[in-house]
């Protein structure tokens, strides 16, 4: 293990090994013509074990055919950016542990007043060539496609139609992240290194010109680096604030949970992921059904979402870091969020969903029974399952809240400060990881003058990544 000192610093250090940032590491190793010194630090024992893990996200390659609150421009952008990851997954699954599969359909199902919304959306989507596999399915054709949705349904009182996609791509993003990291071994970079089980305790600037940082690790050692890509979820903004970047920003973590449906509830297996029409003012999907990667009997009902004082799931000490980050200017922002009747109602409902007995019963009544009219409380597994954390970004100057990953999904969502790139994206961002990872490395090559290296643009183009 090489020592990276003030006189011999790393070129690029990447903090965090989820799918997006394993892609940064892979790109730094594969697409640079020079042999850069690159270090990936991950506090877990392997890549992709937190939000990229199969139990923590919907395992869906989001191309926004089923995201009903996206316009056509964003749909087309996201589709194009997701294709490199799809291509990588197709190639890797043939030679490594399988983490990619294609199912015959993805569904958007609606009822009552939502039928008009989806009918108009289908008319718009079918004009885009990327959605040539979509079809509009009327309710009289649904019984043989998805019998569980039609069982006990009174179609006069609760009509239903859906948009069907013949190619729903499922990806285990955790295994994809691991495959990204393994790929660097094939490209012969002598100075590329991965260190697992290493937590970052602090980061300090060691140069007035902003071209040197010292990273202190939990084993008592430290490394020096010229450039940083910070990808530590909500902790990215904690580090930013400590380094006096993004000081006008604050975060509120949102915690998602899901229920599992007992296998004996279903008389026939679900044939597709079932998605509902999204509300325009809430960035989370309406409750939807899917099944876990390794066990199709584990059908999940997603999501409930609540603000939390934790920056990391189930880590009580992360609440201390959250509180340390707060300032008096953050209080009006939180009050403004609660004063908005739509967001307040959303949070109120999700708070009630967490209550014993009454919570899951209310969740079924308000969210799930429109999918599965016959479902009862005894059909749910006893315990709710904790999933991802997402950050709501707030502005300390305007006291406003921005669900930025939802409104500007297809835009490159990071902050570039001197020689630091800060990523703190939500789970759907994984869909465009293969596209955005190389873009971060290209940004460093173009803007960080103290690093003298070139990008292999021909190889990038070959891999579908156009800069």
Supply the pLDDT for residue 449.
65
Contact status, residue 60 vs residue 173, Cβ threshold 8 Å = no
With a cut of 50, which residues of the chain have pLDDT below it?
404-415
Long-range own/partner contacts, residues 210-214 (CB < 8 A, 24 or more apart) = 210/418, 210/419, 211/418, 211/419, 211/448, 211/450, 212/6, 212/9, 213/13, 213/419, 213/420, 214/6
Look at residue 130 in the predicted model and tell me its pLDDT: 64
- DSSP label of 285: P
What confidence score (pLDDT) does residue 134 get? 77
Q: Which two tokens stand for residue 79?
A: 């589709």
The confidence score (pLDDT) of residue 45 equals 92
- In this prediction, residue 58 carries a pLDDT of 75
Q: What pTM, to 2 d.p., does this model score?
A: 0.86
Residue 14 confidence (pLDDT): 92
Distance CA 440, CA 445 (A): 9
Q: What pLDDT shows up at residue 222?
A: 95
3-state secondary structure of 444: helix
For the stretch 66-123, pLDDT in tens is 677 677 777 777 788 888 888 888 877 666 557 877 776 666 666 666 777 777 777 8
In angstroms, what CA-CA distances link 206 with 29, 217, 426, 449?
Answer: 26, 16, 31, 17
**Over the stretch 137-170, which tens digit does the pLDDT of each residue have?**
877 777 888 888 888 888 777 777 778 777 777 8
CATH of domain 10-447: 3.50.50.60
pLDDT recorded at residue 175: 87
Cβ partners under 8 Å of residue 171, min gap 6: 59, 60, 61, 85, 89, 99, 100, 430
* Two tokens, residue 465: 């990544």
Question: Is residue 81 within 8 Å of residue 124, measured between CB atoms?
Answer: no
- Domain boundaries, given as residue ranges, for the chain: 10-447
């Amino acid at each position: 293990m090489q020592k990276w000192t003030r006189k011999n610093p790393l070129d690029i250090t990447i903090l965090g090994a989820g799918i997006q940032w394993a892609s940064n590491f892979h790109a730094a190793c594969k697409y640079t013509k020079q042999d850069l010194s690159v270090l990936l630090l991950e506090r877990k024992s392997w890549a992709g074990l937190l939000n990229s893990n199969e139990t923590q996200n919907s395992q869906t390659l989001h191309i926004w055919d089923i995201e009903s609150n996206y316009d056509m421009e964003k749909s087309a952008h996201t589709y194009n950016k997701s294709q490199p990851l799809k291509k990588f997954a197709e190639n890797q699954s043939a030679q490594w542990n399988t983490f990619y599969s294609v199912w015959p359909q993805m569904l958007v199902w609606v009822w009552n007043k939502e039928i008009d919304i989806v009918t108009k959306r289908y008319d718009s989507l079918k004009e885009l060539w990327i959605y040539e596999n979509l079809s509009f399915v009327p309710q009289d054709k649904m019984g043989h496609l998805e019998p569980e949705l039609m069982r006990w349904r009174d179609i006069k009182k609760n009509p239903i139609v859906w948009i069907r996609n013949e190619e729903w791509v499922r990806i285990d993003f955790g295994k994809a992240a691991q495959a990204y990291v393994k790929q660097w071994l094939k490209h012969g970079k002598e100075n590329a290194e991965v260190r697992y089980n290493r937590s970052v305790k602090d980061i300090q600037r060691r140069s007035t010109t902003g071209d040197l940082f010292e990273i202190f690790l939990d084993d008592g050692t430290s490394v020096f680096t010229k450039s940083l890509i910070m990808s530590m979820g909500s902790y990215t903004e904690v580090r930013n604030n400590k380094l006096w970047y993004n000081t006008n920003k604050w975060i509120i973590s949102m915690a998602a949970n899901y229920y599992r449906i007992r296998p004996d509830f279903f008389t026939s297996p679900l044939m597709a992921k079932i998605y509902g029409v999204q509300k325009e003012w809430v960035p989370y999907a309406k409750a939807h059904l899917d099944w876990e990667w390794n066990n199709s009997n584990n059908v999940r009902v997603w999501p409930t979402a609540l603000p939390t004082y934790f920056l990391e799931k189930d880590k009580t000490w992360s609440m201390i870091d959250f509180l340390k980050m707060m300032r008096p200017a953050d209080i009006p922002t939180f009050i403004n969020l609660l004063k908005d009747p739509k967001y307040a109602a959303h949070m109120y409902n999700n708070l009630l969903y967490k209550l014993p007995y009454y919570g899951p019963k209310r969740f079924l009544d308000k969210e799930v029974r429109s999918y599965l009219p016959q479902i009862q409380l005894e059909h749910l597994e006893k315990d709710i399952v904790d999933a991802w954390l997402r950050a709501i970004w707030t502005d300390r100057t305007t006291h406003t809240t921005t669900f930025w990953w939802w409104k500007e999904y297809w835009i490159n969502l990071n902050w570039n400060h001197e020689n630091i790139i800060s990523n703190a994206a939500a789970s759907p961002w994984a869909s465009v990881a293969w596209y955005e990872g190389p873009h971060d490395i290209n940004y460093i090559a173009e803007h960080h003058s103290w690093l003298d290296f070139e990008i292999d643009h021909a190889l990038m183009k070959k891999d579908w990544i156009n800069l």
